[in-house]
Structure 1
Amino acid sequence: MNETINLLLNHMSIRRYKDKPIDRETVDTIIKCAQMAPTSSHFQAYTIIEVREQSKKNMLSEIAGDQTWVTKAPLVLLFCADLNRGKKYFKETDKEVFSNTESYTVAVVDASLAMQKAYIASESLGLGGVVVGGIRNDVEAISKEFKLPDMVAPLFLLCLGYPDEIPGLKPRLPQEEIHKINFYDDVKQDQLINEFDETVSKYYMERTNGKINDNWTSRCGKALMAKNRDSVGTFFRKIGLLKK
């Protein structure tokens, strides 16, 4: 164990923040750390937009399903997959390549890795935060509001601030379920998932004083059906991020 491992093992989403601003030096450090994330072939196929205007935060919150922490977080960062930059400036390229699934995947992975670096850096500096994917409920509206050019797509927010809550650790799948050796071994999968369902059910019962009685497979299934977001693919094709 060391300080970094301890930080990673005690990660929890923070949605309530103290009324305390984040100074400019701290924000710049967070962005610099994000930029040091691994990036495929040095493409750096992402853009981070710092959302300062309260009206924009309010819009993002509403689109995400009235997630009020978006309006109250001292720092809100919008992470976008960005192939526009490469399409404009990479030399000796077939422009059609930028719309294939591989390029799209690279941009999404690059943005995700950058966000994770920013998140870890923030936590090491005493901040807490939450990733908000609910903005994909209306990617077209966000694209217009933030004047995103073609080939740039909003993916998620990282909301950050000084924690005003300690919600506790949420259980993860058994390590044996997500860590395989040499091949995809699912012999014990039914047992492991059933046991995890029981763990998650107990977690929600205790955390909510019995108000939520749900397990992992049920809760995730309902969440998936509640936000399938078919319009995301349609819009990504419209802006050229994916082939039609």
Structure 2
Amino acid sequence: MDERMTDLDRLAVLDPARDREPTPMEWARAEAFVERVLDGTAESAARLPARRWLVAGAAATALGAIAAVAVPALVPGSAERAVASWTAEPTSRTGEQVLPQARACAAGDVAGATTATASDVLLAEQRGEATLLIQRKGGTIVECLMIGDGDRAASMSLIESTYVATLPAGTVNLETMSSYGDGDSQWSNIVGLAAPDVTAVDVRLDSGALLHASVKAGWWAAWWPGPEGGEADALTVIVHAGGRITTHRPSQLP
């Protein structure tokens, strides 16, 4: 071995993705992560409990540590309530139906406090006491998991609201996948963009459990009790588009 090589040089030789150039979409997501941290999203890092984070795409090696600080601290007790009431089948909600939760999400620190209207809500699903929202918040699209009418379990920035993804027909991508908490209160989530012809997305855990994601307004999302969101390829994403069904491990999604 060349003694002139530094430790980083030696590690670079072992990197299986060293010759791979990220796609424009992966660069856009990576740059968005950095901008969110520089804008002050990282200020809540010291308050975060133990958790695991998985970032999709080639930018994960460089930006995994940065992405991990993009989520505010969990509200004590909220995760336990959400997990205890969780259902595998979500109930779709309109912006009007979840306006109290949307306003509470908008008032949070992530991406800056704003106000919300029903039209800001892009996707909303109900599972037990928890409402998962994907909504516009100023110039950003955020995800919030709300308990009841206003207790915020977690929230994070996703992409700029002006970002337009062009996905091939019948496909989805992966914007984020993560797990939070420990023990009986641990839960995972997965969020991505969907092509217009995608009608349904299911998530099958390696344990055999099957849950249905919500699909609306070009987004798909789901959350569930368990650690799989923070583990590499511990689940399969099943995409339905017309009469065609495709299956993907998270690492296979753009």
Give the TM-score taking structure 1 as reference length: 0.28
Report 1 or 2 for greater relative contact order, CA contacts < 8 Å, sequence distance ≥ 6: 1
Higher helix content, 1 or 2: 1
Give the TM-score taking structure 2 as reference length: 0.27
Q: Which has the larger radius of gyration?
A: 1
Higher strand content, 1 or 2: 2
